[in-house]
Structure 1
Amino acid sequence: MINTVIFDMDGVIVDTEPVHYFAYQQHFKHLGVDVPDEMYATFTGNSTKNVYQKLKEAFQLLDEVDGLVDYKRELFNNAFDQKEDLDLLPGVKDLIVDLHSNGMQLVLASSSAKVTIGRVFRRFDLYPYFTHIVSGEDFPKSKPHPAIFEKAAELSGSPKEECIVIEDSTNGIKAAKAADIFCIGYKSENAVLQELAEANMVISHFNELNFEKIKNII
């Protein structure tokens, strides 16, 4: 029986991808680099630090990675604060409340930095529902490496067989599978070039899930 649900954040709980995209594009222009959409799509699920490590290698950037990350984060934070129409994805808050009220443990495992997670959780009052928050900035390798989900399962205190992951990205699904955790792929309308075939099941709206369905999913 499932007793822990591990949520990704970007593209699953809240669609910050347009904000990230805007910030990245501003920064790419500033750096004078042309990043094709196909290459950008491979960054989904990666930490910002890992994205800039890849960009530094691909475009022989002279800037230090930490400085690049800080600059992009400032661009993102400014855009985030100005975007009044930013909202949770349809149905996800109802699912979170339903799972929490029925005693299901919820853990966040996001590639986002802690400061970004904090902005989202404060804006939408999500802290009361989650027992643990795991940020990708604490790991040397990003998804598809399984470390973040292995840590989330460890913190939950539940065996992996009693956990599931909800993900929207190819890299996230690969990470869940590598961690040997059942994975639900969320097919967001805003997901670009993401392949969900490796997920154990795929949904297109969170109203397809509830406590009873998840509890007995395996």
Structure 2
Amino acid sequence: MKKAAIFDMDGVLFDTERLYRESWVETAAQFGQAFLPAFPAAVCGTSGAKLQAVVREYYPAVDAAAFVECCMERVRKVLREQPVPEKPGLHEILTFFRGNGVKIAVASSSEPSMIESNLRRTGVIDHFDAIVSGVQMPRSKPAPDIFLEAARRLGCAPADCYVFEDGLSGLRAGLAAGCVTVMIPDLTPPTDELRAACAAICDSLHAVIDAIRVGTI
């Protein structure tokens, strides 16, 4: 078992990636744009300048900053009005790692306030030794910065850290950081590239626990 576990948030700990996808659809309509089905996967896991660059690539006619803020505010509103949807196994995997002395971090492209709110509202914030937001990093996923910073804050070498991700950009970031990168598919199916590169592909947080117990990862 590795010394640390670093989790992406949306689509891994919480079933919130679908909220962003729905919000991107609504935002495109509000800005008078035809929704482009490839856009959510391209933008998944990005933040800051990288996120806006992807918006400009797909929707060159819009104000990228305003487009992003519109989407984010829609998601914030939904999460203010309903419970944060948890992924099955959320509490079990955090308890499992904590019980085995594994340090835990979240490394998400979401804003710090959103990360902390989701963790606090679901009662799991005390399990985390570090919280890292992509908006605090000089480069967004797929650059490795966020996972290297999470490993640094945990006091562990990247090779001693699991990274659990669902999106292509995040998985590439984990691999570039030199972490033991595990895909937990959500809205993006695994590709041949990811099957070859990732340490494992597990269909749930429960499956991750099983794989670690039997020594697969």
TM superposition score category, shorter chain reference: 0.7 to 0.9
TM-score when normalising by structure 1: 0.87
Give the C-alpha shift of residue 11 in structure 1.
0.8
SS of 2:6's partner is strand
User: Map of 1:73-84 to 2, 5 A cutoff?
Assistant: 73-84=72-83
Q: Deviations over 1:117-160 (max 9, x none)?
A: 12211210121000110001112432111111111111111112
Give the C-alpha shift of residue 213 in structure 1.
2.3
Q: Deviations over 1:69-118 (max 9, x none)?
A: 3332221111222344x421111220111111222100111111112212
| Cα root mean square deviation, aligned | 2.4
Change (3 A) 1:34 1:97: same
TM-score when normalising by structure 2: 0.87
Give the C-alpha shift of residue 50 in structure 1.
3.0
Q: Quick one: which of 159, 162, 166 aligns to 2:157?
A: 159
1:18 pairs with 2:18: yes
Percent identical among aligned pairs is 26
Give the C-alpha shift of residue 53 in structure 1.
2.9
Structure ranking higher on relative contact order (CA contacts 8 Å, 6+ apart): 1
Please name the residue that 1:43 is paired with.
43
- Paired positions, count: 214
Q: Quick one: which of 107, 116, 136 aligns to 1:109?
A: 107
Give the C-alpha shift of residue 62 in structure 1.
5.1
Give the C-alpha shift of residue 54 in structure 1.
2.2
Please name the residue that 2:188 is paired with.
192
Q: For 2:78 and 2:162, locate their aligned partners in 1 and report how far apart those are by CA, in whole Å.
A: 32
User: Map of 1:141-152 to 2, 5 A cutoff?
Assistant: 141-152=139-150
User: Map of 1:69-218 to 2, 5 A cutoff?
Assistant: 69-84=68-83, 86-188=84-186, 191-195=187-191, 196-197=194-195, 198-210=197-209, 213=212
Segments of structure 1 that go 5 or more residues without pairing to the other structure are: none
Change (3 A) 1:43 1:63: closer
Letter of the aligned partner of 2:29 in structure 1?
K
Question: 109-118 or 46-55: which moved more?
Answer: 46-55
Q: Is the 8 A contact 2:184 2:201 kept in 1?
A: yes
Give the C-alpha shift of residue 179 in structure 1.
0.8
Give the C-alpha shift of residue 6 in structure 1.
0.6
Change (3 A) 1:163 1:121: same
Q: For 1:46 and 1:194, locate their aligned partners in 2 and report how far apart those are by CA, in whole Å.
A: 18
Segments of structure 2 that go 5 or more residues without pairing to the other structure are: none
